[in-house]
Amino acid sequence: MVQQHLSLSRKDKSPSMEASNLVFDASVLSHEHNIPNQFIWPSEEAPKPDSAEELIVPLIDLSLHRTQESCQLVQLVRSACERHGFFQVVNHGIDPELLQQAHRCAESFFQMPLMEKQRAQRRPGESCGYASSFTGRFASKLPWKETLSFRFSDQKQSIVEDYFVDTLGEAYRHTGDVYQKYCEEMSRISLDIMEVLGLSLGVGPDHYRDFFQGNDSIMRLNYYPPCQKPDQTLGTGPHCDPTSLTILHQDDVAGLQVYIDGKWRTIRPRSNAFVVNIGDTFMALSNGRYKSCLHRAVVNSRVPRKSLAFFLCPQMDKVVRPPGQLIDSKFPRAYPDFTWSTLLNFTQKHYRSDMKTLDAFTEWILREGQKL
């Protein structure tokens, strides 16, 4: 049976899941030269002052999928996903005006006073809402960022627009409409990418597309205010996304870094491209053939940085299990069956997502008998 609500006693929680009493008000802290200790990361995790080299990841022309030239695209995707799980998509058909509006609406939201943003305050244990850093959620290694997260469902017509109007009022209908359209576009290109991933793994174009039909995804607006000590903190700490596929658009400020061959490397922003990466759930769906790779976001002392992240997730109770064709003696079953609902709960209530989430989760479900 699927365990929907995991009850966790306090003693089960790791110290990093404890809350701090701090308030992160970016309008004050971005000018502060002495940043609070809770934002200072240990030196082995803090970014080095020398700038990271650029990581060149393949540019996938999405307009070529379902054409005779798709063969080349499929090969590029396969080699990127076997190596590190990062690639970019261009010619995706997303209206540049919609993209611009999505950035503008994020800018307007985050520039409002803290009190106004807190009307959408994220509640403990929930993955949606506004968070000014994660002061109420974690005690140390706090991220230098503000986020606004909300749910998108392929099956609920105006879920995003309703979220904005219900949480922030009628004045946010336009913003809600922009993100509703943006998420619909993200969902559309996710399914196209799923076709390419299916072909690249030899299971055909429909297998993963069908699996993610009716997806129940998470959209997150990330806002990284300037920080006067950018070498001591991180905007988003090192982690692998627990979700299935992430489609990220960065504004024109660099900050995304991927850990490859023992080094942090930057993926520079390109206004016409989305950065796509494989998450832990897709790694499990590919039976470990495709990598969910460690990445982070750094901050700078001069300008704010924004990124828009669409985290593709399956329906909550869908069983995450790789297709039979991907299980053989070279690739025996790598992870047990699980549901996205259980993994999401694990990351929100029990374990702070990092580079080891999937292994920690696997051990946990086997130990706790949360298996299906």
Q: Which of residues 54-113 bind Fe ion (CB under 5 A)?
A: none
Tokens (6 digits) for 36: 């609070």
Going from the C-alpha of 340 to that of each of 104, 114, 217, 312, 315, the distances in angstroms are 32, 32, 10, 11, 7
200, 215, 222, 347: which one contacts ligand AKG (CB under 6 A)? 222
Of residues 255-274, which lie at the interface with ligand AKG (CB under 6 A)? 255-256
Determine, following the binding rule CB under 6 A, whether residue 250 of this chain makes contact with ligand AKG.
Answer: yes
Under rule CB under 6 A, how many of the chain's residues touch ligand AKG?
12
The Cα 160–Cα 158 span in angstroms is 6
Measure the CA–CA gap between 156 and 359, rounded to whole angstroms. Answer: 33
Q: What are the helix (H) ranges across 56-172? A: 70-83, 96-110, 114-117, 159-168
The alpha helices in 4-138, defined as continuous H runs, are 26-29, 70-83, 96-110, 114-117
Q: With binding defined as CB under 6 A, does residue 309 bind ligand AKG?
A: yes
Does 137 engage in binding with ligand AKG (CB under 6 A)?
no
Outline where 280-356 has alpha helix (H).
Answer: 280-285, 340-345
Contact (Cβ atoms closer than 8 angstroms) between residue 133 and residue 146: yes
**Residue 242 CB, nearest approach to ligand L2PXNNRO (Å):** 5
Which of 85, 176, 198, 242: binder of ligand L2PXNNRO (CB under 6 A)? 242
Q: In what order do the strands lie in the sheet with 146-153?
A: 59-61, 86-90, 274-278, 245-250, 305-312, 216-224, 146-153, 129-132
Q: Identify whether the C-beta of residue 317 lies closer than 8 Å to the C-beta of residue 341.
A: yes
Footprint of ligand L2PXNNRO on 10-69 (CB under 6 A):
none
Q: Which does 353 bind (CB under 5 to 8 A by kind): Fe ion, ligand L2PXNNRO, ligand AKG, none?
A: ligand L2PXNNRO
Among 154, 161, 241, 251, binds Fe ion (CB under 5 A): 241
Q: How many residues does the chain have?
A: 372
Give the other-Cβ count within 10 Å of 15's Cβ. 9
Rounded least distance, CB 107 to ligand AKG, Å: 15
Give the β-pairing of 146-153 and 245-250: unpaired
Query: Of these, 281, 307, 341, 347, which contacts ligand AKG (CB under 6 A)?
Result: 307
Verify binding: residue 287, ligand L2PXNNRO, rule CB under 6 A: no
Cβ proximity to ligand L2PXNNRO, 306 vs 352, nearer residue? 352
Which of 30, 127, 140, 213 binds ligand L2PXNNRO (CB under 6 A)? It is 127
Cα separation, 339 vs 213, in Å, equals: 16
For residue 246, the minimal CB distance to Fe ion (Å) is 6
Smallest gap from residue 284 Cβ to ligand AKG (A): 18
Binding-site ranges for Fe ion (CB under 5 A): 241
**Contact residues for ligand L2PXNNRO (CB under 6 A)?**
127, 143, 218, 236-237, 239, 241-243, 311, 344, 347, 352-353
Residues that bind ligand AKG (CB under 6 A): 220, 222, 236, 241, 248, 250, 255-256, 295, 297, 307, 309
